[in-house]
A and B are shown apart, each in its own frame.
Chain A
């Protein structure tokens, strides 16, 4: 048995080192590789004979070689470095994540004669982390939220059916993304997906846009114009903001849903509508039916399969997932290499109310990309309204304190009240000025009214006690 290693005489230390899964190599004081085990050869793609005798940075093409080498403190000061992370570049240009540790090598007198570095391929661990982070995804929709997962689980079978789908959710929750997913997973996926925003056009224009018109139907109608219904033949027609559709047009749409035929403006012959309908709204259709502003029969026709998309504030577990998604997206669009947001930014985004939902988060990341030139999105890269005032700094550092959220809500309520006052209570004009929907204004006012009622109740309760 060897005195130094404790190994039987017929087993060399080299064969043991060669049998481990971790890559191990040693260098002398000139950074020349003196030993390179089999695992190191496997991970780097460089054979043992090619590696030995070369400078380590010429073999170990890693992110730490230029200026952040873990071997440097070993050779210069005799210090060990543990669990440093980085990546090496494979021959085909793919990044392989690695974890590495280094220690100095000393002779019998204790003089440093070189260094040893061990490293391991973390690709499988990273894939596992990614899977844990992203528990469920369908098409471009990603979530960790149990309610969303349930919704996404039923999405493929719904897509395969021919039923009309009604998507309900606040502005910016991704209703069009769901509509596209329904189309892409359906048997009609190779046919057109046509989207129409029913709130964007006045009634008569929307009618001609939707159903098209025949030459001579009205002045200036010199030739036939196909409507969106015709363009969507065989595919899917997505009717966004269906709650904003004028009542007379609702009747015409109802007929299409019932009879599967329509007539263009000025047309005399019905045309078959081979279209799958997906409708969406951020409005309360049941309330609108009760108010008489939306036809009940159309509501029942549309409400065959109903999918509720939760707002982002009810699925905060998705915020890190979405941040990573938007960072990846913006990196490829803008050619940057931003890796993450700072801890403080995370805290602020977690506490933020996101009345504009996922779209608002996407806008915040896009804004930060304009200002951020490094690898990390910091507080100074966020839009002004997300930066805490001096008095709020203390609260913002502690994610458990809810006062920052309250401050943000108050700020929004003030902005809404100011805009309403300026426009004599006209919600549409105030919404236009603030760049939000009427429903968002209604929600903000409703929430602040509820808070006020609760405060009054609390005061009364305290007085009575």
Chain B
């Protein structure tokens, strides 16, 4: 399963040259956005061209933990990370890598992806938390 996901990732990598494409990552747990980035069990990766998903893949969280995630996702070419809550230290790591983070997101992954494409993320933010986008 993991190898298959990696192969899919490689395919995603090969799409980076496509003009106007964008790689995003959603940190998930059992088909929904994980409550916290550090408790996510899977990373769903999508390549978007305009409003179309042209490639999707999945990989596991790095064994070195969430602190290793910014550099790992950067090397995969990910530009935007959508996740639940995340600690300040990891948030700062993404900021340093120039990766945009949309945090405190809730809901099923497919619904979140749709909301992102339709620019309706405000409807997917956890109660009591303001949407935080970096940088």
Q: Is A429 an interface residue (CB 8 A)?
A: no
A375 to B84, CA, bound (A): 22
Q: Write out the residue numbers on chain A whose beta carbons fall within 8 Å of the beta carbon of B29.
A: 66-67
Is the CB–CB distance between A54 and B84 below 8 Å?
no
Stretch binding the partner chain, chosen from A85-93, A278-286, A313-321, A351-359: A85-93
A329–B128 Cα distance when bound, in Å, is 33
User: Per-position contact with B for A437-448: 1 when CB-CB < 8 Å, else 0?
Assistant: 000000000000
Q: How far is the CA of A46 from the CA of B130 in the complex (A)?
A: 11
- B66–A50 CB distance below 8 A: no
Distance between Cα atoms of A58 and B64 in the complex (Å): 26
Which residues of A, 47-91, contact B by the 8 Å Cβ criterion? 47, 50-51, 54-55, 57-63, 65-67, 89, 91
In the complex, B67 has a CB within 8 A of chain A: yes
A404 to B8 Cα, complex, angstroms = 51
CB atoms of A93 and B128 under 8 A apart: no
Structural contact, B128 and A46, CB atoms closer than 8 A = yes
A336–B128 CB distance below 8 A: no
In the complex, what residues of B have CB within 8 A of residue A37's CB?
Answer: none
Does A140 lie at the interface of the complex (its beta carbon under 8 Å from any beta carbon of B)?
no
A61-B36, A65-B36, A65-B39 given; A94·B128 CB < 8 A? no
- Cβ-defined partner of A92 (8 Å) among B64, B88, B93, B106: B88
Q: Which residues of B contact A454 (CB under 8 A)?
A: none
Cα distance A65–B127 in the bound complex, in angstroms: 16
The answer to whether the Cβ of A337 comes within 8 Å of any Cβ in the partner chain is: yes
Query: Is A335's CB within 8 Å of the partner chain B?
Result: yes
Determine whether B2 belongs to the interface, using a CB cutoff of 8 Å to chain A: no
With both beta carbons as reference points, the residue of chain B lying nearest to A57 in the complex is identified as: B35
Chain A residues near B35: list those with CB within 8 A: 57-58, 60-62, 65-66
> Is B39 in contact with A66, judged by CB distance below 8 angstroms?
yes
A45 within 8 A of B: yes
Q: What are the residues of chain B within 8 A of A54 when measuring CB–CB?
A: 127
Instruction: Determine the chain B residues whose CB is within 8 A of the CB of A59 once the complex forms.
Output: 126-128
In the assembled complex, how far is the CB of residue A301 from the closest CB belonging to chain B, in whole angstroms?
48
Interface size on A, residues (CB 8 A): 31
Docked-complex contact B128 and A47, CB < 8 angstroms: yes
Question: Are A93 and B64 CB-contacts (below 8 A) given A44-B128, A67-B39?
Answer: no
Is B133 an interface residue when CB atoms closer than 8 A count as contact?
Answer: no
Q: Which of B65, B66, B68, B85 contacts A61, CB < 8 Å? A: B85
* Contacting pair B88 A61 (CB below 8 A): no
- Interface members, chain A 11-56 (any B CB < 8 Å): 44-47, 50-51, 54-55
- Pairwise interchain contact A58-B127, C-beta atoms closer than 8 A: yes
CB distance from B62 to the nearest CB of A (A): 9
Check A89–B36 contact: CB distance below 8 A.
yes
- Least CB distance, B10 to chain A, in whole angstroms: 23
A-side interface mostly: loop
A373-B40 in contact (CB<8A): no
Q: Does A95 contact B (CB under 8 A)?
A: yes
CA–CA, A331 and B30, complex, Å: 28
Decide if A50 touches B127 in the complex (CB within 8 Å). yes
Write the nearest CB–CB distance from A104 to chain B, whole angstroms.
22
A residues within 8 A CB of B91?
93
**Contact B88–A93 (Cβ < 8 Å):** yes
Q: Is B17 an interface residue when CB atoms closer than 8 A count as contact?
A: no
Complex: A336 Cα to B89 Cα, angstroms = 11
When distances are taken between beta carbons in the complex, the residues of chain B under 8 Å from A373 are 63-64
The answer to whether A91 touches B86 (Cβ under 8 A) is no
**CA–CA, A389 and B117, complex, Å:** 60
For residue B107, which residue of chain A has the nearest CB?
A58
What is the 8 Å Cβ interface bit string for chain B, positions 35-71, against chain A (1 contact, 0 not)? 1101111000000000000000000000111111001
Task: Report whether A61 and B126 are in contact in the complex, using a CB–CB cutoff of 8 Å.
Answer: yes
Q: Considering the complex, which residues of chain A in the window 249-307 have a beta carbon less than 8 Å from any beta carbon of chain B?
A: none
A66:B129 contact, CB within 8 angstroms: no
Beta-carbon contacts under 8 Å, B83-135 to A: 84-89, 91, 93, 104, 106, 126-130
Cβ-defined contact, A66 with B36, below 8 A: yes
Given contacts A57-B35, A63-B38, A63-B39, contact A94 B127 (CB under 8 A): no
Q: Is B67's CB under 8 angstroms from A95's CB?
A: no
Which residues of B are found within 8 Å of A45, using beta-carbon distances?
128
Question: Which of these, B38, B67, B71, B88, contacts A94 with CB under 8 Å?
Answer: B88
Query: For residue B87, which residue of chain A has the nearest CB?
Result: A93
A447 CB to nearest chain B CB (Å):
41
Is B81 at the interface (CB under 8 A from chain A)? no
A51 to B129, CA, bound (A): 11
The residue that A51 contacts in the complex, of B85, B104, B106, B128, with Cβ under 8 A, is B128
Q: What's the Cα separation between A373 and B61 when bound, in Å?
A: 12
Nearest CB of chain B from residue A70's CB, rounded to whole Å:
14
The answer to whether B68 and A336 have CB atoms under 8 Å apart is yes
A59 to B35, CA, bound (A): 9
6 examples of A-B residue contacts, CB within 8 angstroms = A61-B36, A62-B36, A63-B36, A91-B129, A94-B87, A337-B66
Known: A59-B128, A66-B30, A331-B67. 14 other contacts (CB 8 A): A47-B128, A51-B127, A54-B127, A58-B35, A58-B127, A66-B39, A91-B129, A93-B87, A93-B91, A94-B87, A335-B64, A335-B68, A336-B64, A336-B68
